Amino acid sequence: MEVNHSITITTMIAEQTITWHVACSVEDIPENGGACALIENEQIAIYNFTRRGEWYATQNLCPHRQQMALSRGMIGSTGADNEPKVACPFHKKTFSLKSGECLTGDEYSIKTYPVKVENGQVFVGV
Amino acid sequence: MKKKIVVVGNGMVGYKFCEKLISKDVSKSFDLVVFGEESRPAYDRVHLSEYFAGKTAEDLTMAPSSWYKENGITLYLSDPVVDINREEKMVRSHHGIVENYDYLVLATGSAAFVPPIPGVEKDGVFVYRTIEDLDLMQSHAKKAKKGAVIGGGLLGLEAAKALLDLGLEETHVIEFAPRLMPRQIDEAGSKTLQSKLEGLGLQIHLSKNTQEITGNGVIESMKFADGSVLEVDMLVISAGIKPRDEVAKIAGLEVGTRGGIIVNDKLQTSDPNIFAIGECALAHQMIYGLVAPGYEMAEVVATSIVGGEKEFKPFDMSTKLKLIGIDVASFGDAFIQEPNAQTIVFENTAKGIYKRINISNDGKYLLGGVLVGDAEQYNMLLQNTKNKTLLPADPEDLMLGSRGGAEQASSGVMALPDEALICSCEAVTKGNICHEIIENKVTTLDGIKKCTKAGTGCGGCVPMVKDLINETMKSQGVFVRNILCEHFDYTRQELFDLVKIKGFKTYDDVLDNLGKGDGCEVCKPAVASIIASLWNEMILEKNATVQDSNDRFLANIQKNGTYSVVPRIPGGEITPEKLIVIGQVALKYNLYTKITGGQRIDLFGAHVSDLPDIWEELVNAGFESGHAYGKSLRTVKSCVGSTWCRFGVQDAVSFSIEVEERYRGLRSPHKLKSAVSGCTRECAEAQSKDFGIIATEKGWNLYVCGNGGVKPRHAELLATDIDSATCLKYIDRFLMFYIKTAEPLTRTAPWLDKMEGGINYLKSVIIDDALGMNAQFEQEMQFLVETYKCEWKEVVTNPALRKRFTHFVNAPKMKDPYAKFEPMREQVKAAEWK
C-alpha cells in the first residue's frame, strides 16, 4: 500500500495539468512544414507532418545560437525507426520532434508540446 | 526464495546501481527496494545548471517512476532511511516503513559543505545541490540584484553560472585560495580562466575569507577578514561537499575522520553485507566527487552481488567540463613538473587559451596536462596518456592540432588500441564501439548511444565516437558510392536522370517512388534543386517546404532571424532613379545597406512579414529577384569596358547584362558567379568565377571553374577569341553538364577536380561534343531561359503565397520581438548572438 502511495504522488508532480490553446487553423501551417504561433507569450513552432498524418509542436528557439527559427526549418525523419525531426535553418542542428533531444550530438534539447486538431483548428497544450 | 537488496539513496549513482543490477540479474533472483529522500526520482545533477537555461525537471530525470514499476522496483520517495538494524538486517524509514535486507547499498551521496560562518541561516543564503535548492534560488532571485557565490572551485563556478542565468546584475565569486579551481588546474590555467570569466561579467575575489553574513533576517552584506565588505542580496555557498554518512554512523559503521563511509576494494563497509557507493563512500582514503567513478562503483557492487568478481581500482580523475561556456580540462598527472617530467606550455592570452602537457623525461609518453579555453584535443590527449601511446616527434601537435604538413599517425583515433576507454562514464572501449559498427552495422551516433550507452553520460566523448564511426566505416570500404542521404540510395546524378525520365515534379513524388522514410534537410533541398533545374516552375508553388530556409522565403536569413534583400542589378549597371528607390525602401523599412562584392546592393534587417511589401515596391520600380538566396546564378560582374575606358577593347557591360539576363534564376548544385572584363587588365576579376569572360581584340576568352572563398581557384581557359554567340553556346553546354553531373553543394572547381581527364576532357565534351550531348544541353538551356519568371513578382501578385510571409501565424502583423538590432555608424546591425 505504502509503495503505491508514494509513486502516485510523484506522478502527480510529473504530470502538470495541460491547458489547450487554439493556435491557428489547419491551413495556416504549410504541408510538411512549420510555422510559429504566439501562445501565452511563448513562441511555439507547430509542424504539420502531412506525410505521416502527424502534428508536432516545439519551442521556436534553437538553443544553439538562441535564434527564433525552428518553425522555418525543414522537417524529416532519421534512423531505422523514422524518428521525426526538424533542422534549424541556421546551422542545421537537428532535434527530435518527439523528445526534443538534439540528434546532431549536442547536449541541449528543445521543449515539445502536445498538439491536437479538432474541427480544422490546431490546439497546443501548454 | 528471492533475496532482497535495499538501496538507500536515489541519486545518479543509486539509480545507476538499479539499472546495472536489473541488466545483470537475468534470473530475477533479487527484489530491489529503493528509498529516496527527495520528492522526485533520480535526476541528472551534473547538468543541474541547465535547469535555469531552460531544461525542466523532467528533462533532467534519469528514468521516470514508471521505469521503476516496470522493473519491479519498490520506490519510496520523500522518505529517507533513518535507522539500520544490522543484527536483524532491517532498515526503518522516516515514515516508519520497515524493510528487511540481504544486502544493503548505501548511496546517500553528499550534501553541500557549509562553513560555520555567523549568519549562514539568513534568508537569501542558499546551497546548490538539488532541484528544490534551485527553485528556492529562482524565487528569491526575482527581487535580487547582486549575488555572490562562496567557492571558486568546480561547484562554485557552476553556481555562478546559475546566478548569471538567473539574470542578476552583478555576480561575485569569493574564493579563499589565491586562485580558481586549485584542485584541477595549475596556476597559469587559473589565471587564464579568471580573465575569461571576468570577460563574461563575473567579479572574482581571491584570497578572501568570509567572516560574517549580516542583515536583518535577510542577507544584506558579507564581511571579510581583511575588513572589506560586499553588499549582496543573495548568496550561494558552494565551497565543497560533505559525505552523507549520518545513518551509517548511527548504525556503527566505520567512517573516516573527515567523513565518508570507509569501504574496501569490493566497496564493502565494515559490515560485509552493507556496501557504500558514490560520494558517501570513502574508498582509497578519498571521496570521488565525480559521476564516472560513482558509476564504476555501482558496476562493482552490482557485479559482486550477482556473484561476479570485480574490484574498485583507483579511478582516473581526468575531467573535462564547460564552465559558463569555457572549456576546462585536466587529465592524468596535471601538476607533475621538472625534474620529474618535461612540460610544454601554449598560451594565447588574446583568445584566452592555455594548454599544458607533461611528458616523460625520455620524451616517449604523455603523463598529463591542463587545457583551458579550448579542450578539443582532450579526448585524444587522455587516450594517449591512459594507453601510454608512444608520442610523435613533435608532441605539441597533439595539444595544438596538426598545423599542416603530414598528419601524425599516432594522434588519430584509429591508432588507439581496442581496449582504449572511449566513454569513461559508461566504461565503453574502442573495441566495443568498433564491434557494433562492423558486426552489427550500427553506423549512427544515435545507434551507438543506444547499444553501448557511450556518450550518454557527460557527452564529452561524442566527437570521438563520431570520428570512430566515420573512420571505421572508411576502413571498411563503406561510402564508396556518394549516395544522397539515408533516404535515397542514389547519387545526385542518378537521381537527376530518374526524375527527368519519370517526369516527377514534386518532392513527395520523388520520395514515394525513389526513396524511403520522410526525407531530411540534406535530400529535400537537393531534390528541390533538381526539380527546379529540370522544370523551372515557381519553387514555392508545389515544393515550398522542401526548400532551404533562404529559398523558402526568397531572402537570406541573417544573425537575428531577419532577412537580407538583394535586387538584381545586371552587370552592376543601375540608373539614378532605381538607386533612389533602393534608398527610399531602405529608409522606409529601416534596412542596413551595403554594396556587395558582386556589384549589387544588399539591404539587411528585413522582417519576414515586410518582405512582400518591400518587394512590391522594388518590383514596381522594375527590379527583379537577385537570387542571392538560391543555389543559382548570383551576379555577372563587369568592368566599364570599351564604352568609357580608354583601354577597353569590348563592351563588357553590355555583354555581362546579356549573360546575366540569360542565366538569371537558373537553379544549380551550388551558387554560380560570373564576370566579364573589357580587356586583359581584368578589372572584373573574371578568372575567379565559375565562368569568366575576358575581352580580346578578336572577341572573348572563356574561363571556367574558378572561385574565391575558402580555397581560391583560378579559372582555367576553355576557349579563346570566340564571338559572343559561341561564348553563350559554350556556357550553355558547360552549365548543363555541371548541373547534371555535380554532387550536391559542389562548386564548379571541385567538380572539375574530380573529373577524370580534367580540363582537357571538359574541353572535349563542350567544344568537340565527345558525349554527343551538346544539342540536348543547348535545347535544355533554351527551355530554362524561355521559362524564366521573377519569383518575387509572382509572390507579390499572389495573395496565397504572400500570406506565408509571417512570423506568427496567429498574429500576422506582429514582428518577432526576438529580432534585435544595435546601432552602428548611423545604421543598424543585428544584435550579437550568444
* pLDDT value of residue B166: 87
Q: Is the residue at A90 inside a domain?
A: yes
Choice between B699 and B155, residue whose per-residue pLDDT is larger: B699
Q: How many helices (H) and strands (E) does chain A have?
A: 1, 12
Q: Does A4 map to a domain?
A: no
Q: Sort strands B170-174 and B563-565 into parallel, antiparallel or unpaired.
A: unpaired
Residue type, B168: L
DSSP state of A29: S
Q: Which of residues 482-541 of B touch A (CB under 8 A)?
A: 486-487, 508, 517-521, 523-525
Does pLDDT of B397 surpass 80?
no
Question: Cell numbers of B674, please?
Answer: 560570373
Q: Residue ranges per domain, chain B?
A: 3-110+243-305, 114-239, 492-547, 633-772
pLDDT tens profile B31-71: 999 999 999 999 998 888 788 877 888 889 999 999 999 99
Note the pLDDT of residue B834: 67
Domain that holds residue A90: 18-125
> Across residues B140-145, what is the average pLDDT?
90
Distance from CA of A125 to the nearest CA of B (A): 16
Q: Do domains B3-110+243-305 and B114-239 have the same CATH topology?
A: yes
Structure confidence by residue, pLDDT tens digits, B642-654: 999 999 999 999 9
B75/B7 Cα distance (integer angstroms): 10
Residues of chain A with Cβ-Cβ distance to B61 below 8 Å are: 14
In a domain, residue A5? The reply is: no
- Tell me how far CA of residue B683 lies from CA of B639, B678, B687, B695, in angstroms: 6, 8, 10, 11
Do residue A6 and residue B78 have CB atoms under 8 angstroms apart? Answer: yes
Look at chain A and report how many structural domains it folds into.
1
Residue ranges of A 6-65 with Cβ closer than 8 A to chain B: 6-7, 9-11, 13-14, 23-24, 28-39, 43, 46, 49, 51-52, 61, 63, 65
pLDDT, average across residues B370-394: 85
User: Quick check: is A12 in a domain?
Assistant: no
Find out whether the peptide bond into B339 is cis, omega within 30 degrees of 0: yes
Q: Are strands B90-93 and B81-85 parallel, antiparallel or unpaired?
A: antiparallel
**How far is CA B338 from each of CA B42, B189, B335, B507, B752, rounded to the nearest angstrom?**
45, 17, 10, 65, 54
Distance from CA of B549 to the nearest CA of A (A): 6
Residues 6+ apart with CB under 8 A from A82: B517, B518
Query: pLDDT above 90 covers what percent of chain B?
Result: 62
Say how far apart CA B809 and CA B365 lie, in whole Å.
61
- Do the beta carbons of residue B291 and residue B46 sit within 8 Å? yes
Cell for A81?
525507426
List the single best residue of A4, A32, A103 to mutate versus B (max B Cβ within 10 A): A32
Residues B412-424 have pLDDT tens digits of 677 788 888 888 7
Residue A115: DSSP 8-state: E
For the record, the C-alpha cell of B263 comes out as: 569501504
For B114-239, CATH number? 3.50.50.60
Whether B98 and chain A come into contact, CB under 8 Å, resolves to no
On the question of pLDDT at B79 being above 90, the answer is: yes
Chain B 427-486, CB below 8 Å of chain A: which residues?
444-447, 455, 459, 462-463, 466, 486
Contact map slice: B 273-332 vs A, CB within 8 A? none
Of A13, A49, A63, the CB nearest to B39: A13
Residue type (1 letter), B511:
L
Q: What is the DSSP letter of B715?
A: -
Cell of B628: 542571392
Closest-CA distance of chain A to residue B522, Å: 9
Q: Looking at the domain B633-772, which fold is it?
A: Sulfite Reductase Hemoprotein; domain 1 (3.30.413)
Q: Apex CA B220: angle with CA B219 and CA B221, to 5°?
A: 105
Residue in this structure with the C-alpha cell 532613379, named with its chain if needed: B577
Task: Collapse the DSSP code of B761 into the 3-class scheme (helix H, G, I; strand E, B; otherwise coil) and give the result.
Answer: helix
CB contact under 8 A, B561 and A67: yes
Mean pLDDT of A67-80: 92
Would A10 be classed as within a structural domain?
no
Give φ, ψ of B142 to 5 degrees. -60, -35
In this structure, is residue A85 part of a structural domain?
yes
Tell me: pLDDT of B405 over 70: no
Q: Cell numbers 525507426 label which residue?
A: A81
User: pLDDT-derived band of residue B480, with 50, 70 and 90 as boundaries?
Assistant: very low
Task: Provide the grid cell at B413.
Answer: 583515433
Interface test with chain B among A5, A16, A28, A72, by most B beta carbons within 10 Å: A72
Establish if A74 touches chain B: CB-CB under 8 angstroms.
Answer: yes
Average pLDDT over residues B301-320: 89
For residue A37, give the nearest of B552, B560, B810 by CB distance: B810
Report the CATH number at residue A69.
Answer: 2.102.10.10
The residues facing A67 across adjacent strands are: A62
B3-110+243-305: CATH, from 3.50.50.60, 3.40.50.1000, 1.10.490.10, 1.10.645.10 = 3.50.50.60
Q: Which triple of cell numbers denotes residue B105?
A: 547499498
Instruction: Report the residue of A1, A3, A10 to disrupt the B interface, i.e. the one with the largest count of B CBs within 10 Å.
Output: A10
- Which of A31-35, B47-51, B215-219, B579-583 shows the lowest per-residue confidence on average (mean pLDDT)? B47-51
Residue of B nearest to A104 (CA): B445
Q: For B216-265, what is each residue's pLDDT tens digit?
A: 999 999 999 999 999 999 999 998 889 999 999 999 999 999 899 999 99
Whole-angstrom CA distances from B131 to B57, B134, B145, B658 are 7, 5, 22, 67
Known binding positions of B: 639, 645, 679, 683
Interface predicted TM-score (ipTM) of this complex, two decimals: 0.84
For residue B411, the model assigns a pLDDT of: 43
Q: Can you give the pLDDT at residue B407?
A: 38
Confidence label for B636 from pLDDT (cuts 50, 70 and 90): very high
Q: What pLDDT sits at residue B393?
A: 76
